């Protein structure tokens, strides 16, 4: 006979949606409204607030008691906030969405349909459109260039419209689906990264573990982009992007590929700095590079741990990258077709 407590325990949802907020202000309400309108209903929503002063997350939780609020006493960054939400989640799947992203009503339905159609895949990316101009992409899966530079495929380019599910290097953390057990087995997001590139690092570690990521182009969100951090070219974004890109390259690139592409990484960094200089924006990237170099001992320590756990070698990672420099400089979409199903 089952115990009463077990019998009364509500069933776990299929999906736990984790939204990390920090000074999310006016974007949070439409983000949550879009989740409420989802056609797929078997999910819970966890709000993880990183010590915001605007009270938006608390107001949302008061307005909707079904939301689960985790109020952090300090700003733990996107990486720490997501980890807090995933640990508290009950679903088999974790859906991440930024508080300035607005999901189409069938977003979760499309992601779960892809997960059912590809049961051997445990990570999925979305098609992200620019909220201000939905005719343009915010990203269609993340791409890793051979120089160790990640970018969102198609960023600011024209939306190519519907296309088939395909394989990308990694998912963007702004709108993704990942199996909770897999996320936890990899240690979740690296909290040392705090914000920016933590999703790239996770996606790279998925690759090293032999896992694939598929992009689901009909799972659509509209994304404002860095609404709480001052925009993609703010000093905050550029500092953390510069620092963390170096750390991810050092930490995750497997041995042969690391030594092969280190010169490419240095040259590409120099070219990027030249571009910053033409815009008069050298201060933030310089601070990021200095902080990245200062943290190299910790990055190499993390590298030893990461590489000790990998299941694939340099060749497998190299095949998942793009070796065409124009893909990086033009931020092209890079999606590999899947073999036809029988």
Domain ranges in the chain are 235-311
pLDDT, residue 231, reads: 57
Cβ neighbours for 260, distance < 8 A, ≥ 6 positions apart: 314
* Band of pLDDT at residue 280, cut at 50, 70 and 90: confident
**For range 282-302, the mean pLDDT:** 96
Give the least confident one: 130-134, 149-153, 279-283, 331-335. 279-283
**For range 155-177, the mean pLDDT:** 95
The 10s digit of each residue's pLDDT in 211-226 is 999 999 999 999 997 6
Alpha carbon of residue 262 to chain centroid: 24
Main-chain dihedrals φ then ψ at residue 49, nearest 5 degrees = -100, 125
Length of the chain: 342
Six-digit token string for 141: 């899966």
pLDDT at 301 over 90: yes
**For range 196-205, the mean pLDDT:** 97
> Is residue 210 classed exposed, middle or buried when 0-12, 13-18 and 19+ CB atoms within 10 A define those classes?
exposed
Q: To the nearest whole number, what is the mean pLDDT of the chain?
A: 93
Share of the chain above pLDDT 70, in %: 94
Share of the chain above pLDDT 90, in %: 90
**For range 323-327, the mean pLDDT:** 97
pLDDT, residue 308, reads: 96
pLDDT at 166 over 90: yes
pLDDT, residue 4, reads: 41
Q: Confirm if 60 and 103 have CB atoms less than 8 A apart.
A: no
**For range 64-90, the mean pLDDT:** 97
**For range 21-34, the mean pLDDT:** 95
**For range 301-307, the mean pLDDT:** 97
Nearest to 320 by CA among 260, 264, 267, 257: 257
* Rounded Cα gap, residues 139 and 331, in angstroms: 9
Alpha carbon of residue 130 to chain centroid: 16
pLDDT, residue 281, reads: 86
**For range 104-120, the mean pLDDT:** 98
């Amino acid at each position: 006979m089952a115990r009463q407590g077990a019998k009364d325990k509500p069933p776990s949802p299929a999906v736990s949606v984790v939204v990390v907020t920090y000074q999310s202000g006016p974007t949070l309400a439409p983000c949550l409204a879009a989740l409420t309108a989802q056609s797929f209903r078997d999910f819970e929503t966890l709000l993880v607030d990183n010590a915001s002063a605007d009270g938006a997350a608390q107001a949302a939780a008061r307005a909707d008691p079904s939301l689960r609020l985790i109020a952090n006493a300090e700003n733990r960054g996107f990486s720490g906030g997501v980890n807090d939400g995933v640990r508290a989640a009950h679903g088999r799947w974790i859906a991440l969405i930024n508080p300035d992203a607005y999901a189409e009503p069938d977003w979760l339905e499309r992601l779960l349909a892809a997960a059912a159609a590809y049961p051997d895949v445990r990570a999925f990316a979305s098609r992200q459109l620019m909220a201000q101009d939905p005719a343009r992409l915010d990203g269609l899966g993340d791409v890793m260039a051979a120089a160790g530079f990640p970018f969102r495929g198609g960023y600011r380019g024209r939306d190519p419209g519907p296309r088939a599910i395909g394989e990308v290097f990694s998912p963007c953390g702004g709108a993704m689906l990942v199996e909770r057990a897999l996320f936890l087995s990899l240690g979740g997001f690296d909290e040392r990264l705090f914000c920016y590139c933590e999703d790239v690092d996770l996606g790279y570690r998925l690759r090293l573990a032999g896992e694939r990521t598929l992009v689901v182009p009909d799972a659509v969100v509209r994304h404002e982009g860095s609404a709480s951090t001052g925009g993609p070219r703010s000093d905050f974004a550029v500092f953390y992007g510069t620092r963390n890109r170096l750390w991810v390259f050092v930490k995750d690139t497997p041995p042969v590929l690391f030594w092969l592409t280190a010169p490419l990484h240095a040259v590409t960094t120099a070219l990027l700095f030249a571009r910053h200089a033409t815009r008069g924006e050298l201060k933030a990237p310089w601070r990021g590079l200095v902080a990245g170099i200062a943290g190299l001992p910790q990055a190499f320590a993390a590298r030893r741990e990461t590489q000790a756990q990998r299941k694939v070698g340099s060749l497998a990672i190299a095949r998942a990258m793009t070796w065409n420099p124009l893909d990086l400089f033009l931020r092209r979409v890079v999606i590999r077709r899947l073999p036809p199903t029988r």
